[in-house]
Every structure is written in C-alpha cells, then in structure tokens.
Chains A and B, each alone.
Chain A
Amino acid sequence: MSRLKTLVRNQNGVPPLRGGHSLCQGCGVPLVVRTVLGTIKSPVVVVNATGCLEVATTRYPTTAWNVPWLHVAFENAAAVASGVESAQRALRRRHALPADEEVAVVVFAGDGGTYDIGLQALSGALERGHRFLFVCYDNEAYMNTGVQRSGATPFGASTTTSPAGLESWGKAQQRKDMTAIAVAHHIPYVAQAAATHWHDLSVKVERAVAAPGPAFLNVLTDCPVGWGHEPRLFAKVIDTAVDCLFWPLYEVVDGHYRLTSVPPETVPVKDWLALQTRFAHLLRPENAGVVDGIQMRVEEDWEALVDRCDELVAA
C-alpha cells in the first residue's frame, strides 16, 4: 500500500511527469498521472490519447515526460497500447527482451477519448485481453476544445454545445456509465476512483497492474474552466462529488463489486452543483424540480451499486 511519502519518494530524482507543463491551475489531471505512475514500480510505457494532457505536456521541442511516451491520435489509444503490449509479448518470447522484466503499458485518455470516440478501440482491446492499464481522466466534457458536451457530461450541465438557455437546462441526457461498460467486458479489474482520493487511487493502481489482464480505471477529476470553479477549490469540488454519492468509489474484481470508500457523511447533490457555474442555472427556483430529479437518480444509482456489492467497505 503506497503512502504519500512513498509516492513522493518514487518521483524524486526523475519524476515520470515533470512540472513546467502548461496544464491549468487547479486541474487534477497531473495529480492523477503522478499518483498512477508514482505507484507503479516497474518501468512503464505511456500511451496518451489526444487531449489536454497530450497538448499541454509535449509542445515540441519540449516535453514534460521522463518515461517512454507515445501519442498517435484521439480515438485509438487502446489500439496503440495493444500494439505495444503485443510487441512486448512477441519480443520476450523471442528473447529479444528479458523475460523477467515486465514493462507496464499505461494509457491516459480523457472522457472523450474513452466514453465516446475511443470506445470502440477500448472495447476491442479489453475483449482481446491485452495486459495493460487504461486510465480515463474523466472531467466530464471535451475541455481541450473548449467545453463541449460528451457522453460523460452529467445531465443538466451547461456546456458550449449543450448550453443552458431560455428553453434549455443544459445537457438533456443522462451520462453513460462507462465503468459498467468496462465491467461488461469481464476483465479482471475495473475501478472507479477520484483524483483527490489519492490513497484509494494508488491502491487501485497497484491492484490494476497486478491483474492478469486488462484493467480499467475511471478517475473523476475536475476542470476549473469547464466546471466553473476557482482553481483553489479543486479538491473540494471533487471531494463533494464523492460525498454526495454522484461518484462512488468502488472496484470490480473478477466481477465482484466492492465499495472501497463510503462517505462518512452524505451531502445533498445540490451542494456539489452549487460549487460549479456549469450548474448555476439549475439553482434558480424554477429549476428546483430538475435538481430533485438529479438527486433521485443519484440515490437510485447508489442503491443499485450497493445491491451489487459483496462488501460495503474496504477490507
């Protein structure tokens, strides 16, 4: 189990992702990357889908990466990782690489590159059983291109392509349950985590890379620009998403569900919505019914998840 000191120590010397990149203040994505890569003890190859992380860390001729890093396109990160993993298997079999030195293949993709345009390649790679870790940093919209709605955008959020207006209360559809879609592939490890729950995330990364096949981590993180909050509030906003049960922390190991963290005190979803300008329109009195609907949906989803769980809290 990684402690904060261990995570920091792992990054001393040559951190996998350096500072000096151009990700925004208050963006949780570098925290996710550092927690994931700081936890993995073996060498890694990172495959990055097109998105904020790729653009902000590799503006040629600079790079923030100190580990092998590949970016090909937006929708195909899982397919590229399939190729890297197959290459490793082929070369080890031919003794062109040492048999006892495994290199972990880790994908980082945003929600667009996972839920939407990247879903087919991800599904194929999960079905084929490649041994790799796919980390979705889910900030719930196409932030890199300027906050357009995605399949991960929650109901009611105002984005530039689902704007709130006189006849609209933002995105009119429910978000898709990507974690459940990953589970449906019968892979050995799937988990949902949050950027600020670094300890929970780190434990999940350890389990994910030890899994004998594909692993999928869906990590909620913020976007101060797209969510509309001050950068200094990033931890509070993400924590509140967990505490209001909008984003439960759980894992599914060989099909067995387990909640890894249950908020000691549950807060109303409205508390989370109120922290972000993307939901500001919902807080007007005439939209109270919409907020009630969101609350009800979150509770139903939570109950359904609890029903699926063998264990309610961390063992």
Chain B
Amino acid sequence: MSDLQLLTGGEAVAHAMRQIDPDVVPVYPITPQTPIIQTFAKFVADGKARTEIVNVESEHSAMSASIGAALAGARTMTATSSQGLALMAEVVYIAASMRAPIVMALGNRALSGPINIHCDHSDSMLIRDSGVIQLFAENAQEAYDLTLIAPRLAEHPDVLLPVLVCQDGFTITHSAEPVALLADEAVPAFVRDYFIPHPALDVSRPTTQGPFAMPDYYFEFRRQQAAAIEAATEAFEEVAAEFAFLTGRPYGVIEEYRLDDAARAIVALGSTAGTVKDVVDELRDAGEAVGLLKITSFRPFPAAAVTRALAGVKTVTVLDRADSPGGAPPLRAEVANALYGSGCELDGAVYGLGGRDLHPADIRAVFAGATSSHIGLRGEPCPV
C-alpha cells in the first residue's frame, strides 16, 4: 500500500495536504515554507485537491482567515516560517483560545535580526506559550506522517487546538529523501470528516465566539485551555497508535534511542536527532554507553515521559537550537524541570543558530564531555 518517492520535506507535506484535501488553505509566501504552498497550489490547480486557497496579503491575515474558516466549520490548514509566524503570533494565541483546530506546517527558520533564511527554532519558541501544539519532525517522512496525524489530534474532542508540524528549514524542507506515502484512498478514512461542536455557519444554533472576558472569567478560560493541551499527550498516543496500525510506523511524544543503560544522553529536537543517532550508533559500536532522547511533542511537553526515559542516565546534555537571551534556553529549561530532584547531571549548549551546521564531530565532543555553552560559535566579534 505504500509507494516510495523521492521528495523534499516541503513536497512531502504538500502531498499530505493533497491527501487530506482540506476545505480552506489561506497562504502567504515565505522562505523556506514556500515550496509547501507552491506544490499544494499546483495540486489544486490540477484538480488533485478541491481546496479553497485564499491568497492573503500577510501571515497575520493567513492565521486570521484560518480562524474564520476553521470556526465556520471547514477543515483548515496553512503554513509559515520565521517572520511569518512572528507576524501571526498575536492571532496564534487567539486561535488557541478560540479552540480552532487549524493544522499549520512550519518550516523552522531563524527570526530576524539580522535577517536570515536558515534554520533554527527561534520561531517555534516565540510562540512557546501560545497554547498551540508543536510537533517536531526529524526528517521528510516524519514531516509527512505527523501532518497526517495532526488533523486528528487538532480535532480530538478533548483537545480542539491548533497543531504545528515543525520541520527544519532547508535541512528538511528542501532536502530530498525517499518518503513512503499512504495510498490516497487510505487518508480520508484515517483523518475522518471534520467535526467541531459549534460551527459558526450553523445559523440555526447561533453562538457568540470570542467574547470579552473580565477578571471574573478570564482565569477560568485560560485554565480550560491549558487542560486541553495537557490532554493532547494522551490524544497523540491514541491517534499515533491508529497510525502505526495503518502504516507500521510508530510515533510517540518522545523517541528513546539506545537509552537503555546509557550513562550519557543528548536531548534534541528536529533534524539534529538524525545526526545524533548516527553518532550514537558509532559510539555504541565502540562500546560507549550513550543514547539520544528526541522530543517529538515540544508542546505539550511530555515531562513525565522525559523523567522516565532519562531515569538512570548519569549525564544529560540538552542541545537547544534557540537561545533565550538573559535566561535558560527553552528546551534545557523544560528538561531541567522534568529532571529536578532526579540526581541526574544536566548541562546543555546552544547550537546551530541561523542555520550553522552541527557536525558529527561536535556531537562526539559532547559525548566525550566537552562543556562548551555555544557549539560552533567563533570567538571573535563580527567586523564593523
């Protein structure tokens, strides 16, 4: 039932969108996300999907139109990167609070400034606290698979929240790999019909959505929203189990890679996990007790699973592809919280900002105990 194709991550996600055949897709171009919407627009132009594409005038409007469409009663997807996500950040928060189950592909790219088009995770981290679910793909196959899982997770009755499927800009969006696609006819049965409890276009049951909440109710709204994203960990496992039954490809909120009896482990997000796996294999062959913990679901952060997975590991190094100037880098802060009181030694490093490569040698150095706080950073200041 699977056929293997050579596809970039961007193309793979466009295929997932074609197979899901969403009702409405508001889009605005930005590198490195653009191949997704271009490929998908061509599918629609050729009649391979019946979607209404809305070519909006900004990402702010892309998310705003997505909210309108999703709450009206239409399955809605969009895509963005970096500054686009920054521009839509205001409405991303509102999409989560209005419980709009929008699926968005994110080609991770560094935030300005200086302006840059290459990968880091600063865009994702900007909306860390927005209440949207963020899943990180390791490669094109995962970007495709997670995009198919995403509508089910977004529309899960316990969840009803936007889901971002994050793939590293260029490293995944533009790199071709063999990708196993599901048969077209298998996808509608898996994703099912779109259903939300109160579509605005149901004029027989008028609803007021997005009202004004003062101190007497705001806190309760926020708590309900937080409970919904907390419920997404279990909902993900449920949907992923069904997906595994269909495809034979299992997904979890985390992936433990050779962590059994590991003395040293790296924690990472995205494509870096693939590079770390290669180094782990090499070092394991040399008899070293090393492993990787890949975080697939950064939001909700599966703290309990992380604590369990790292129990018994002596030293944990968290690699962050985003910084939090003046504070702890975001992934390290999460892992530190999960490991608090476990006795595990924790350190970490920031790497790869603005698309700087992380080499296997860098990862070997981490496993060898190097304590650099910024991997790959040159010492000298930039010339004026």
Binding site for B on A (CB under 8 A): 43-45, 47, 54-55, 58-61, 63, 65-73, 75-76, 79-84, 86-91, 93-94, 96-97, 103, 120-121, 123-125, 127-128
Contacts and interface: CB of A to CB of B under 8 A. Distances in A.
Contacts of B65: 79-80, 82-83, 86
Contact of B69 (A43, A83, A93): A83
B245 interface: no
10 contacts: A59-B211, A59-B213, A68-B200, A70-B71, A73-B90, A83-B54, A84-B201, A87-B68, A124-B57, A128-B55
Nearest to B22: A90
B311 interface: no
Nearest to A81: B68
Nearest to B26: A83
A58 B212 contact: yes
A59 B212 CA distance: 5
Given A70-B71, A83-B69, A90 B203 contact: no
A128 B212 CA distance: 30
B52 interface: yes
Nearest to A44: B203
B48 interface: no
B206 A79 contact: no
A72 B64 contact: yes
Contact of A68 (B56, B57, B69, B203): B203
A127 B57 contact: yes
Contacts of A96: 73
Contact of B203 (A61, A67, A128): A67
B211 A73 contact: no
Interface in B33-75: 50-52, 54-58, 60-61, 64-74
Contacts of B206: 65-69
Contact of B60 (A93, A103, A121): A121
A65 B209 CA distance: 10
Interface string B80-109: 000000000011001000100000000000
Contact of A70 (B68, B90, B202): B68
Contacts of A65: 206, 208
Contacts of A72: 64, 67-68, 91, 94, 98, 210
Interface of B: 23-24, 26, 50-52, 54-58, 60-61, 64-74, 76, 90-91, 94, 98, 200-203, 206-214, 217
Contacts of B94: 72-73
Nearest to A63: B208
Contacts of B90: 73
A287 B372 CA distance: 70
Contacts of B66: 83
A79 B60 contact: yes
Given A68-B207, A76-B91, A124 B201 contact: no
A4 B73 CA distance: 35
Contact of B56 (A44, A63, A71, A124): A124
A60 B217 contact: yes
A256 to B, nearest CB: 27
A71 B211 contact: yes
Contact of A43 (B67, B203, B212, B213): B203
B201 A68 contact: yes
Contact of B23 (A61, A67, A94): A94
A103 B201 CA distance: 8
A86 B52 CA distance: 6
A226 B200 CA distance: 34
B60 A76 contact: yes
Contacts of B202: 68
Given A54-B212, A69-B208, A124-B57, A83 B217 contact: no
A81 B67 CA distance: 10
A69 B209 contact: yes
Contacts of B217: 60-61
With most chain A CB atoms within 10 A of its CB, the pick from B50, B72, B91 is B72
Nearest to B193: A96
Given A65-B206, A82-B56, A124 B74 contact: no
A124 B64 contact: no
A60 B212 contact: yes
A86 B24 contact: yes
Contacts of B201: 45, 68, 84, 87-88, 91, 97, 103
Nearest to B23: A90
Given A82-B65, A124-B56, A60 B74 contact: no
Contacts of A58: 208, 210-212
Contacts of A79: 26, 56, 60-61, 64-65, 68
A93 B53 CA distance: 14
Contacts of B74: 86-87, 90-91
B73 A91 contact: yes
Contacts of A83: 24, 26, 54, 64-70, 72, 76
Contacts of A44: 203
